[in-house]
Amino acid sequence: MDELLNSLVETGLRGGTPTRSEALAVLRTSDDDLLDVVAAAGKVRRRWFGRRVKLNYLVNLKSGLCPEDCSYCSQRLGSQADILKYTWLKPEEAADAAAAGVRGGAKRVCVVASGRGPTDGDVARVSRTIEAIKERTGGVEVCACLGLLSDGQAERLRAAGADAYNHNLNTAEATYGDICTTHTYDDRVATVKEARTAGLSPCSGLIAGMGESDEDLVDVVFSLRELDVDSVPVNFLLPFEGTPLADQWNLTPQRVLRILAMVRFVCPDVEVRLAAGREVHLRSLQPLALHMVNSIFLGDYLTSEGQAGKADLEMIADAGFEVEDAETTTMPAHRNGAGGAAGGAATSATTVAQEAAAVPDAPVPESAVPESAAAGRPERPQARVAVRRRGAGTELPPNA
C-alpha cells in the first residue's frame, strides 16, 4: 500500500498521470487503508489548490420535460419523478437567483436548461440572461450548461460573457448506450471540444453509482484527462422515484471517498468539484471529501435539495479550509490562458503524453486489491431523494 500511495503522490505533485492499474487499485483499497488514501490525495490537492474551496451555485433556467432519455435524470423523457416543471426564467429572475448564490459566497454561477440542445433563439435568450447576471453581480463567473451545441453557438455564448461551458461525459464510452439512446457519447465529446475551441473553459465530469464497474469509472476519468478539461464535477447518482435507476443504491460513503481520490490522482491539477449526491451518499463524511476536492456546489441542485448553504460554509470552516475569493485565480498558473477567463488549460496534449509516459506501469501491490473491496451491496436507505421545492421557478427564497 505504501508503494502505491507514494507513487501516486509523487506523480500527482508534478501534474503527471498515474497508470490505469494504479487508478483501479485506489478503487479497490480496503476500509482499513481509506484514511491513508484520503491523506495521499490531500497532498496532491494542497500542492495545486492549497486549502481553498471554490463555491458554485446552480440556477435551473428551465426544468423538466426533456426529450432525451438519460436513465439517471429526473427531467428525462417519460420521467414520473415529482419534480418542479417550468419553462424559461426571465433574465431578471435568473439574475435574482444568481445574486442570492453570490451573496452566499459563490464565485461561479452555473446556468442550466433541460433539453437536447439550444436553438439559436435559446442561445439569444441565455445570452441576455448571462448579461443580466453579470450586471447584477459585478461580473461573477458564469458557466452555461444547455446540452449539445451547434456550430457557432459556443462563440455566441462567449461573446455574451460566458466563461465556461459544462457538458458531462457521465460514464465510459463502452457503456454509454446503456444509460442513453437519444444521443451518443461522441456527441458529448464533440460539444466539450466545441466549447474549448470557442474559448470557453471546458467543464465535464461523471456520475458514479449507476451500476458501472471499476473499469468504467477509470475509463471515463481517463477520457476527461485526455480531453484536458479544466473542471471535473463528480456527481453521485440520486435515484429519483419515477426514473429507471430508482433502485440503484450502490454507493457507500467509503466508496464515494475512493472515487474522489481516484479522480484527484488522475486529474491532479484541475478543479475537482464535489457535486450532486454528496449529502445523500457521504452523509457525515462530507468534510473528508474536502481534502480531495477543491470545489463544491452551494445549496440546492437542479431538481433536488442540498444541504443548507449556511451548513456548507460551516463545514468548510470547521474542516480547516477557506472559501476562495473572487480575486483569486482558481487554476494553477500553467493552466491559465487558453480556455477563457475562468482559467483554461495551457498544458498541451504532447506534454500530458510525455508526463504519462514517464510513469511506468508498475505492478500494484497485492495488498491494495483485497477480495472484500467490492463485496456486499449497501442496503437501500429509508429516506428518498428530497425534491427541490424552493428557489428558481418558485415563490420561495433559494437555499444559499
Element holding 108 (H helix, E strand): strand 108-113
Which is nearest to 28 in space by CA: 280, 379, 374, 313?
374
Say how many residues make up the chain.
Answer: 400
Q: How far apart are the first and last CA of the chain?
A: 41
**Amino acid (1-letter code) at residue 280:** V
Q: How many whole angstroms separate alpha carbon 22 and alpha carbon 4? A: 7
Q: What is the DSSP letter of 285?
A: G
Catalytic status, residue 145: no
Catalytic option among 52, 125, 143, 158: 143
Q: How many whole angstroms separate alpha carbon 290 and alpha carbon 279? A: 13
Catalytic option among 273, 278, 335, 388: 273
Q: How many whole angstroms separate alpha carbon 126 and alpha carbon 115? A: 14
Contact 48, 336 (CB under 8 A): no
Which is nearest to 288 in space by CA: 321, 328, 313, 311?
321
Catalytic option among 66, 145, 180, 267: 66
Contact 12, 47 (CB under 8 A): yes
Catalytic status, residue 70: yes
Helix (H, G, I), strand (E, B) or coil at 56: strand
Catalytic option among 70, 145, 180, 267: 70
Q: How many whole angstroms separate alpha carbon 146 and alpha carbon 309? A: 25
Contact 83, 74 (CB under 8 A): yes
Catalytic option among 45, 52, 76, 110: 110
Catalytic status, residue 180: no
Q: How many whole angstroms separate alpha carbon 156 and alpha carbon 10? A: 42
C-alpha cell recorded at residue 293: 476536492
Catalytic option among 145, 180, 203, 267: 203
* Residues known to be catalytic: 66, 70, 73, 110, 143, 203, 273
